[in-house]
Structure 1
Amino acid sequence: MKPLLFSNDVQFWYETLRSFGHIAYGGADFGEVVSTSGRIVEGDYGSWHDEWLATADRVAGEARRALEAGHPVSARDGFLRASNYYRSAEFFLHGTPCDPRHDHAYERSVECFHAAAALFTPRIEPVRIPYEGGTLPGYLYRADTSATPRPTVIMHNGFDGTAEEMHYFGAMAGVERGYTVLAFDGPGQPGPLHRDGLVFRPDWENVVGPVLDFALTLPEVDGDRVALLGNSMGGLLAPRAAAFERRLAAVIALDGVYDLGRAVTNIVPGDRGELERRLRAASDPELDAQLDDLIAANPVMRWAFNHGMYVMGADTPRAFGAAYLDYHLRDGIAEQIKCPALICEAAEDLFFAGQARQLYDHLTCPKTLIEFTSEEGADAHCQAGAQRLALARIYDWLDDTLHHRYAAG
């Protein structure tokens, strides 16, 4: 989709489109996004933070006053939008992990989401999922209060999104269709990273396993019909988990990713094997300089490397690139998936062009590929801007897949 705003900074435009997309499930209002964007200086991370924070503070204040005045629906809607705006405010600040601004905005985002969650019917329940001596934060969505076992979707975000944001990326769409939904943050994602310093790990099956253990204790969960949905980088992590976790009835990659290392090795000319060796070397000043030049020249690389060092626990851009090499479905991993898989593909994916089809081609399980196009307004990464369309197709596939499993069982 051609940028409508921030024409010289594709990363700023994509993040704006992301909020436009969240309008579909109550995470933004069109005028608020346009007005805020109009005050932002293109390419200026401080300006982005300040303007989104100002909007979030204003909307949260109005929601609080509505609640105090006895208007719970207005309050719920306002808190939900404010939560998303606070999330957006801290998005570009991770190049300086000690910056107090992103801790403040993140905590306010969670607080506002909790305030909104308490006003839904049924209430969206914050949960703590046991994980390696600690817990992972999440949210349990119930279709009703009957405690009836229902088909269930466990879902998580990716490289830079939150469990709260999954409200717009699939949780409410599932509830509308009668599913139980459990959304969570894993290591490297905002909750565990902000609070416990947990960075990403490639063996995502060891994250999903404990989440499944928890889910299967819930009366609302039909243990024979549990699907896993991963968003963005989750489009690699969820299939990775499905390759080793046999309790899943289906897996959804929104969008599909086969090899994160390509995102680094494709931006520097040369043989991949040699580049991998250089990324992992103790010292390579020439490659360090090349990466610094790319970061300075390209707004996507600037954000991705700054954020990537933060979430991977890497000290340098090259160390982040080396860490990324461990995230892949090569070497027969994709071929180990046995449950039905849905792979979504965005025609103009800003980050992982071509990878969804590559993953699809390697699958040997029952599989479906859905391509989203520019004619549909759905060609952006993870179908940002077309969430009603995308989630309708995803849940229609899941309805058919889990119904077939139920009928066969």
Structure 2
Amino acid sequence: MAYRFSKNDQFDYEILLALGSAWRQGADVGEVLSAASAVGDGDEEGWFRVWTDLARRVRAQGERSAAAGHPVSARHAYLRAAGYFAMALVAVDALADPETHLRAVFPEHRDCFDRFARALDPPAEQVSIPYEGGPLPGYLVSPPGRSGPLPTLIANNGSDGPISSVWTLLGAPAVARGYRTLLFDGPGQQSMLFERGVPFRPDWENVITPVVDHLLARPDVDPRRLVLCGISQGGYWVPRAIAFEHRLAAAVADPGVVSVVESWWANLGPDLRALWESGDRVGFDQVVTGALQEDPALASTWRWRAKPYAIDSPFDLLTEVSRYDVTPVADRITTPLLITDPEGEHFWPGASRRLYDALPGPKRLVRFTEAEGAHLHCEPTGRALFEQRVFDWLDSRLDQV
């Protein structure tokens, strides 16, 4: 099944994600295809402009609907606009003044998502989760017509995805099945990074445990039916967290990640890896910096991926990313864990199986294939199938507690 919308791999994948989000009203297929066709291959400035313009048009549609008393249309428009603003930001590090554009557009993205969240039925509750150095911001979304303690899903984002994506990928299907759902920004993620400058940390249990504490203090959360699900680099966050946090009934890693740095070495190649392993910090930094200067597209992708770590030296960055490895603690994982294994996984190929094999406790490995249209990282165009397989498993696990 061969289809491409851009020769730029990152842009092509973002378009697939946007098309898949239409399943949960996060985009409109026609809007996505029209915007994608208006951007030339490798035109980062055009990408930023086209998606920003689309987002502002759709936001204006939402404002008109809200003013005319059409809350459903307004809600749908605000969610789409939030997603399109997030699409624009993928290219922000290729612009002449990335920080200025980021400071301008990220608040527009988050404002649209806030409007969407307030327009839900019932409205999402904005929460502040106690955390060292300052609270984690989040949204607790409840299913309509339900009260009392409910099963609750913690939706753990990945390395650079927007909160609108974690909603369409995890939050919306969970709420549709009767779960309360917590969306939050952890260290290095979105508002924590862009507005407060808080970077990633490898010991993610020190993020999830405060989240669990917060939820278990609420009377509307069933303490026996609390689950954690992570997407993309969340496939590392989740197993790392549950190696230490044992109050969760079940967990999902989409996909499984053993060592985060593997996705970096796949692009850098064996020669650069050997240079890094030699300990030659100066030589490694010179080679990588030279390569980035010669390839502006690669440089913008590097800056976007490196931003959550807040480390300038390429050598030091790779040294830090190498700490994000679940191998030393995998034998401590006893929480039932479902791991997705999509065909064509391009960030961490083979890692889902290796994580599965390393687990001592209850586990399930779920394959998604190209023949099903559910292949690639986080199954961008196979969302209905993902939901059916993953949430049927979660529901069955919770029925046993």
TM-score, with structure 2 as normaliser: 0.94
Identical positions, percent: 36
Asked if the contact 1:138/1:163 (under 8 Å) is kept, the reply is no
Q: Could you say which residue in structure 2 is the equivalent of 1:275? A: 276
Is 2:56 the partner of 1:57? yes
Moved more, 15-24 or 310-319: 310-319
* SS of residue paired to 2:282: coil
Which runs of 5 or more residues in structure 2 are unaligned? none
Structure 1 position 329, deviation (Å): 0.8
How many residues are treated as equivalent by the alignment?
399
Is 2:291 the partner of 1:293? yes
Is 2:302 the partner of 1:305? yes
1:317-328 mapped onto 2 (5 Å cutoff): 317-328=314-325
Asked if the contact 1:126/1:138 (under 8 Å) is kept, the reply is yes
Q: Could you say which residue in structure 2 is the equivalent of 1:67? A: 66
Q: Write out per-residue CA displacement over residues 279-313 of structure 1, whole angstroms, 9 at most, x where no aligned residue.
A: xx54225x6415743785696x5454221221100
* Distance of 1:303 and 1:250 partners within structure 2: 37
User: Quick one: which amino acid aligns to residue 158 of structure 1?
Assistant: G
Q: Write out per-residue CA displacement over residues 88-141 of structure 1, whole angstroms, 9 at most, x where no aligned residue.
A: 111122467852112222111111111111111111222221111411111101
Q: Could you say which residue in structure 2 is the equivalent of 1:77? A: 76
Structure 1 position 330, deviation (Å): 1.4
Is 2:25 the partner of 1:26? yes
* Distance of 1:290 and 1:116 partners within structure 2: 42
Asked if the contact 1:309/1:316 (under 8 Å) is kept, the reply is no
* SS of residue paired to 2:139: strand
Change (3 A) 1:134 1:389: same
* SS of residue paired to 2:135: strand
Change (3 A) 1:277 1:215: farther
CA RMSD of aligned residues (A): 2.1
* Distance of 2:320 and 2:226 partners within structure 1: 31
User: Quick one: which amino acid aligns to residue 393 of structure 2?
Assistant: W
Structure 1 position 163, deviation (Å): 2.7
Q: Could you say which residue in structure 2 is the equivalent of 1:346? A: 342
User: Quick one: which amino acid aligns to residue 312 of structure 1?
Assistant: Y
* Distance of 1:372 and 1:295 partners within structure 2: 38
Asked if the contact 1:82/1:109 (under 8 Å) is kept, the reply is yes
1:184-263 mapped onto 2 (5 Å cutoff): 184-263=184-263
Structure 1 position 363, deviation (Å): 0.8
Asked if the contact 2:118/2:124 (under 8 Å) is kept, the reply is yes
Structure 1 position 220, deviation (Å): 2.0
* Distance of 1:371 and 1:183 partners within structure 2: 26
Structure 1 position 179, deviation (Å): 0.9
* SS of residue paired to 2:169: coil
TM-score, with structure 1 as normaliser: 0.92
1:350-369 mapped onto 2 (5 Å cutoff): 350-369=346-365
* Distance of 1:64 and 1:129 partners within structure 2: 30
* Distance of 2:292 and 2:281 partners within structure 1: 21
User: Quick one: which amino acid aligns to residue 282 of structure 2?
Assistant: S
Structure 1 position 74, deviation (Å): 0.8
Asked if the contact 2:138/2:183 (under 8 Å) is kept, the reply is yes
* Distance of 2:146 and 2:22 partners within structure 1: 30
Q: Could you say which residue in structure 1 is the equivalent of 2:376? A: 380
Structure 1 position 274, deviation (Å): 6.5
* Distance of 1:316 and 1:77 partners within structure 2: 42
Asked if the contact 1:95/1:307 (under 8 Å) is kept, the reply is no
Q: Could you say which residue in structure 2 is the equivalent of 1:159? A: 159
